[in-house]
Amino acid sequence: MARKKKKSADKQNAQVQAAGLMGKIKELRQFFDESFIEIKKVVWPTKKETITTCVAVLVVSVVIALYLGVVDFAFSKIVEAIL
């Protein structure tokens, strides 16, 4: 009786593993299908919008760099005067 249960359990485990592998493959396929659908919904910026935002980022970066440079220079002069 114990042997029959063991064989039955082994068969069920084998079926679960086979179904598990196929289930994972189906999940992966579904993931890629859904991802493809979502990518088709994306609205990409135009060339003009891309250039405009790039220039804006560069200008803001330069302004902040100059501000931080001036503040750093001022603080270094203050510390130099104190010491």
- The Cα–Cα gap between 32 and 25 comes to 11
Checking if the pLDDT of 8 tops 80, the result is no
CA 67 vs CA 3, 52, 72, 81: distances in Å: 81, 23, 9, 21
Confidence at residue 83, expressed as pLDDT on a 0 to 100 scale: 87
pLDDT digits (tens, 9 = 90+) for 39-59: 999 999 999 999 999 999 999
pLDDT in tens, 11-45: 666 565 656 788 888 889 999 999 999 999 999 99
Task: Report whether pLDDT(71) > 60.
Answer: yes
HSE (side-chain half, CA atoms, 13 Å) at 46: 3
Give the per-residue pLDDT at 4.
54
Report the predicted TM-score, pTM, of the whole model to 2 decimal places. 0.52
The CA–CA distances, whole Å, from 43 to 21, 35, 37, 52, 53 equal 36, 15, 13, 17, 16
